[in-house]
Amino acid sequence: MVGASAAGLAAAETLRREGYEGTLTLIGDEPYHPYDRPPLSKQILGGQWDPDRVPLRAPADLDALGLDLRLGVAATGLDLADRTVALADGARVPYDGLVIATGVRPRRLPGDGGERAHVLRTLDDALALRDRLGPGRRLAVVGAGFLGAEAAAVARGLGAEVTLLEPAPVPLAPAVGERVGRMLARAHHDHGVDLRTGVAVAEVTDGGVRLTDGTLVEADEVLVAIGSVPNTGWLEGSGLTLGDGLECDEYSAAAPGVYGAGDVARWHNPLFGTAMRIEHRTNATEQGMAVARSLLRPDERRPFAPVPYFWSDQYDFRIQAHGYLRGHEEVAVVEGALEERKFLAVYRSGDRVAGVLAVGMPPKAVRTWRQAVATRAAWRDAVGELVPEGT
């Protein structure tokens, strides 16, 4: 396993639990035991948790897996013919089966190398930003995606003055639709965040953030949260297909005996009939488990066809979504009301239910709609007439 985080660990754990007794090497370039990322922009940034809360497994449980753990060392190359992975320390690790789970890294902006510029992907990133936030500090967040929005909310909670800069007119519209995006924008306004949409950022400068029209948005700290880039550099020249991530088939296989899992992997999900790369916490685990099973029992392997799930905490509410919302053609609020921040919205692609997004709804209601996604229920039966977005 290359990549010692959610997906790599899930693969290792599943291989052991389901009877693999051979050598299991888990390679990761971070110096820490596998840890969880979602709390980084929530409890860690907010200072409610100490870093000792984020390891994914207790040391004893990790020990019990009997892994050959190679931490703090990056994989630098892959030889498919030889079946070896080359490491930065010069070692070559032979394999019979390989799981590629190297995740993603933050996309950067020009000039963001300086003191005040931050990204938020690792524990060190989160601790560095946390140490510089507090009452009266001015934070500019570039990008109002889930990550930027969560960080903005937490920074407000710490008393910082927050400016949130977003190029699109409505934040997250492609992901969750215009109406839910506007609801999120209102939540920022209500909590005193200066949300500026439709602005293009040119660079991070000494004084803050420079927009393309020349305006300087002054800030003490700048968080760049403009999406991510798959960590596939070490696979270049290996013969594997790299595009937007590691290209895999419906089994998450990239080559015979070589699988991709988690944020780095793009695979064909037969449930939705489309290729997708999912940057969600549960997908990392589920895909790690699925590829472990395919490695253990190649004759019984099945396509990886999950209903993706994510959650995001914003201020005092939590968004939960099941399904594949991107590219949706219609959104219907079937329960509750957006204005009250208690609602359940259903998403349509083609003539089928593609996803459900809920805020503050009882878990049973959400699970019922998730089932409609899992069975790809017909929209007409589940919701009603088809009304295209924008009519």
Q: What is the closest distance, in whole angstroms, from the C-beta atom of residue 164 to ligand FAD in the complex?
A: 16
Q: What is the closest distance, in whole angstroms, from the C-beta atom of residue 150 to another protein in the complex?
A: 13
Identity of the residue, 367 or 380, whose beta carbon is nearer to another protein in the bound complex: 367
DSSP H helical ranges for the chain: 6-17, 59-63, 123-130, 146-157, 173-176, 178-190, 281-296, 363-374, 379-382
Identity of the residue, 304 or 379, whose beta carbon is nearer to ligand FAD in the bound complex: 304
CB 355 within 8 A of CB 326: no
Q: What is the closest distance, in whole angstroms, from the C-beta atom of residue 138 to ligand FAD in the complex?
A: 21
Contact residues: another protein, CB under 8 A? 10, 13-14, 17-19, 36, 38, 53, 55-58, 61, 281-282, 285-286, 289, 309, 311, 318, 320, 362-364, 366-367
Identity of the residue, 289 or 383, whose beta carbon is nearer to another protein in the bound complex: 289
CB 288 within 8 A of CB 101: yes
Identity of the residue, 166 or 313, whose beta carbon is nearer to ligand FAD in the bound complex: 313
Identity of the residue, 5 or 163, whose beta carbon is nearer to ligand FAD in the bound complex: 5
The single-letter code of the amino acid at 40 is L
Report residue 310 as tokens: 């994510």
CB atoms < 10 A from the CB of 186, how many?
14
263 binds, among ligand FAD, another protein, none (CB under 5 to 8 A by kind): ligand FAD
DSSP-assigned beta bridge partners for residue 100: 2, 260
29 binds, among another protein, ligand FAD, none (CB under 5 to 8 A by kind): ligand FAD
SS3 state at 225: coil
141 binds, among another protein, ligand FAD, none (CB under 5 to 8 A by kind): none
Q: What is the closest distance, in whole angstroms, from the C-beta atom of residue 278 to ligand FAD in the complex?
A: 7
How far apart CA 204 and CA 197 sit, in angstroms, is 18
Report residue 19 as tokens: 């009877």
Identity of the residue, 164 or 358, whose beta carbon is nearer to another protein in the bound complex: 358
DSSP-assigned beta bridge partners for residue 86: 77, 92
Contact residues: ligand FAD, CB under 6 A? 2-8, 27-30, 37-38, 40-41, 74-75, 101-104, 120-121, 147, 231, 234, 262-263, 279-281, 284, 310-312
CA distance readout (Å), 241 to 116, 150, 258, 277: 37, 34, 12, 14
